[in-house]
Structure 1
């Protein structure tokens, strides 16, 4: 079986560009060697649980992409099982672009980055909105990571289609305050 992520993303137009720039054969060989990546393994679960933010892309009814940053405490994006992720959706700026887009086209892309260690994970999935008054027991643990439960409007569930690890090239290392404190680069007294 072909590498699932490339199966979904290497469209005829993409393969045409690969042929034009001379990478088509290399990409075909890579696809044959790569695992399927349609279920999260221990490595991906650990990576996801250590993120405090990610980017999520949707597509609108007029075919324009929309990217939104999501953030929270470590572990706010939770692995429900090897094919499912979920997170609490807080009341924000009241634009509802991501939610609205997902009702038209539920395909989403998540981009998770560990800047300090130059690692990134790309996830393709299908998004479902679960309103608070209609939560299943399976998704209730997501609420345990919420610091302001009164602001939670829904739980967003992402059913995994595929994922892929991205190369670290051109990824500039960045560090959180906690990481700088841990490494001894700054002291607690240095923080305002």
Structure 2
């Protein structure tokens, strides 16, 4: 893969950050640096994103005791974990698939972004990376994990947010977004802010501010060519995962961004389907220490 595809280049130019994007493109590597290998192997979770057989994009979470991810070669990983049958990407990972990933460590606010191709094995996945690079620590809330073996509940599927889903969205300080380009190459990205930064505008409509980032515009570049996206909203205290799939549209109107402190742009997400799995993750996390980079929250009036 080249560092950027057509959609990313278009968005970088629209944002007036082409030179900045070129400058930071040197961070994108095809082989795993030694420090990154050590970091990856210490993690108890791996956030993933991919498109399913219908083209719907989802984000999910693989978890295990530290060491469940093993660096097996210059550009290869072995992951000894599997999703539960109720997870929206369970069937997708049973076949070779293009996968976006984030190894993220909230207690140190470090994260490593990766993408490549995953193939199923007897114990989990073998992943061949095409790109790997570090992301900045902005907007990551500091929290420490504990391991609690659990059995995931049966999934609840729906076409709109229920009251318990809205309560989770309203209280969240973190979510993950998965997107793909026209060739199916997948990306998974982190979004963070103070509780309330992810707004419920209706039972099928969410909105969030786009804060200053690394200028690569990997997510926006994918949305430029393919509006399909998947969100995963974790409940850090119970292990519940709320998975949403639908379409995302970037609003470049500066007046709309000005209504949300810290926003450079605004993103509107339309929910088409959701899957909620209570007790999905065996990880439980301490109360957060919010990032000092989080802008304050100001709500617009919700739509009816």
Aligned partner (choices 84, 109, 112) of residue 118 of structure 1: 109
Structure 1 position 100, deviation (Å): 2.9
State the Cα distance separating 1:111 from its structure 2 match. Answer: 0.7
* Pair 1:78-2:47 in alignment: no
Offset at residue 65 of structure 1 (A)? 1.2
Does residue 1:14 correspond to 2:18, yes or no?
no
Query: Within 5 Å, which residues of 2 pair with 1:12-51?
Result: 12-31=6-25, 34=26, 37-51=29-43
**TM-score w.r.t. structure 1 length?**
0.68
Q: Give the TM-score taking structure 2 as reference length.
A: 0.44
Give the counterpart of 1:166 among 117, 125, 135. Answer: 135
Q: CA RMSD in A?
A: 2.3
Q: Number of residues paired by the alignment?
A: 147
Match of 1:156 in 2: 125
Contact 1:60–1:104 (CA<8 Å) still a contact in 2? no
SS of residue matched to 1:45: helix
Cα displacement (A) at 1:17? 1.4
Contact 1:60 1:105 in 2 (8 A): no
Distance in structure 2 (CA, Å) of the matches to 1:36 and 1:16: 19
2:81–2:125 Cα contact (<8 Å) kept: yes
Unaligned 5+ runs, structure 2: 148-304
Mapped to 1, the partners of 2:136 and 2:44 lie a distance apart of 20
Match of 1:59 in 2: 51
Distance 2:28 2:136 in 1: 17
Q: Does 1:88 align with 2:80?
A: yes
CA contact (8 A) 1:99 1:129 kept: no
1:175 deviation in Å?
A: 1.8
**Which structure carries more strand by proportion?**
2
1:120-174 residue CA offsets vs partner (Å, 9 max, x unmatched): 001111111123xxxxxxxxxxxxxxxxxxxxxx431001111010111111111
Aligned mates of 2:42, 2:135 — CA distance in 1: 17
Give the Cα–Cα distance (whole angstroms) in 1 for the partners of residues 27 and 62 of structure 2: 28
Determine if the alignment matches structure 1 residue 69 to structure 2 residue 61.
yes
Kindly indicate which of the two structures has a greater share of residues assigned to helix.
1
- Structure 1: any 5+ residue segments left out of the alignment? 132-153, 179-192
